Structure 1
Amino acid sequence: MKTVLMSNRADLKERWSEFKSENPKTRIRDAARELDTTEADLLATGLGDNIILLEGDFRELLKEVTSLGYVMALTRNDHVVHERKGVYENISFNNHVGLVLGEDIDLRLFLGDWKFGFAVHEGDRYSLQFFNSFGDAAHKIYLTEESNKEAYDALVEKYRAADQEAMALTAVKPEKKAEEQTADIDTAAFQAEWLTLKDTHEFFGLLRKYKLSRKEALRHAPEGYAYQIKPESMKAVFDAASETALPIMVFVSNPNCIQIHTGPIKKIFVMGPWLNIMDPAFNLHLREDAIDEAWVVRKPTEDGIVTGIELIDKEGVMFNQFFGKRKPGSPELAAWQELVDQAVIRK
């Protein structure tokens, strides 16, 4: 089996090398798509060179990331990249669900399908990169100039896989099914339960109970609790938050991780299809052309109404969420509600 894998990897390594020479600016995630492979498999072609395969309990490894000091956490999906600098603190796990609740690094981790881990050395950049069984990036941790490189080296050595050639090829990702419409919806009952929510997290259970997709749920929302806005509203929202220094919360998720920024945003600009936030400790890169639907969504909680903006792609997946800065037990900032009302463009 290993001989077959090594043969496949050698062929991919050659194709990857040719692709990089012809397309030096193409990012590895996009290159994987062009080469009909995965990002994890492309990285694996560097095993024995600039890539080290990691093994062991990733929960224990993550608990030790605190020792690296000030780093950059990166979580992304197909449409948005979230980069936040800080220290990994207050790390805890309940089975395969983890929390990182630092002042700057704020994560929800779902390690049930964290399949592969690598230490990656690219020029003067050092990172720890984790992937699911389909070869998609779950989460990445990059050293900064302020990081503890000795602690990084020790961590990599501790979790270095004994066999650097033993990594299997990634699994074939199942095709996404078209969104199915729920035949019968008890709209009155659904709306009544929406209005009695006590916590925003209860919303997921509500969707499951009524077997509703996110889009369907928003279309059946109680009057005034969800309305569609134009995708170009996001630039206006970012600009307004920047001008007023209003602290916001920015959520980016994939099946394996949710990463959250809380705080003000300042430098906003557009480059091609990307809407960017480029601040010293926080960067966001959002593909505006990936937004199929954008919604303002209001949910009742014990602390009052919580107002969010949700971005949904063509396949019905919510890939980006925005809120005003808020902690449980505290009401939402009135300034955030006002900003949303004034900045968004209704569809």
Structure 2
Amino acid sequence: MIYLDYAAATPVRKEVLTAMQPYFTTIYANPSSLHHLGQEARLAVEEARSTIAVQLNCLPAEIIFTSGGTESINLALQGVTKGHIITSSIEHKAVLETCRMLQKKGYSVTYIQPNKQGLINPKDVGNAIRKNTRLISIMYANNEIGTIQPIQRIARIAKKHNILFHTDACQASPHLDLNVSKLDVDLLTLNSSKCYGPKGVGLLYLKKGVKLKPLIHGGAQEAGRRAGTENVPGIVGFSKALELAQKEKRETKRLTALRDWFISEIQRKINNVKLNGHKTKRLPGNINISFKGIDAQQLVQHLSSYGIYVSTGSACTSHEVEKSHVLENINAKEGVRISLGTSTTKRELQEVLTKLTMIVTALRKI
């Protein structure tokens, strides 16, 4: 098996699994319980919060644990929005569908178009600002084409106009700087499963002083901002995974070099291919590439038959293939997303290249 779909989900690291284990079988009490075992669980949650706060350079109280990126995004957009929203047309569906839902409720949303490389121009964001603009939400790095956005420049524009700025940083967590002071963001979303942590846990960074309306009602967990018993093993695992990921700068350099080598080899061995997204301003492990005359879904299925697991920019909904809104917005043909990770080796990619060349050649003859 050669797994090249790390942008969709990452395996849980052994160190992370080890850190989580006691909270499944030994310290399994409810962290809101007042007895000793409950307080041990509470301590684990708060230590994890503090560890993550160090990675983000924020206060522990500014972190709200959630069930994942989608919930965090919904909490950010629905929790602070009272007026006009500015976002981009290539955001994750969690942002786009939430904005569409808010539009049905009477909210106004402006969708900024990217250039052909998937970059958002900060000037376009500034030009879209209205008197009643309440929130700007632009993702840190795109989940399909890997393009890294000029978050700091957009944040400065938001701050100048006293507008809240949220960024979906789920794809950024394994490799990019998450220092919220440097990024100058008011809200930031992270997802554990994108940085070699467990699924089902995420967070929303909420800058001190920013008012938030809860999305889930019930108990007083997370300082009254997110009801529901905390996922103690998940939170502990998330903390460990993020801590390890943020320390591994060598891995970022390795994946960047491996990515660039693989792109050049694909372009050398196979003609009529196009790289989607920015050539250099992209995530270290992200490759999104279109092959002229080739159906991307079919290519993914053929690679899968050889035990090579990649994905497309498409999503399947109700058994129907939906075209990638990201690729449509940059005027690109359907593509294959190949995302590299900690286990990816050059030898594996050489094998993939051989199979990929063979499959594309065969499909073009049909």
* TM-score, normalisation: structure 1: 0.28
Bigger relative CO (Cα 8 Å, ≥ 6 apart): 2
Where is the helix percentage greater, Structure 1 or Structure 2? 2
* TM-score, normalisation: structure 2: 0.27
Where is the strand percentage greater, Structure 1 or Structure 2? 1
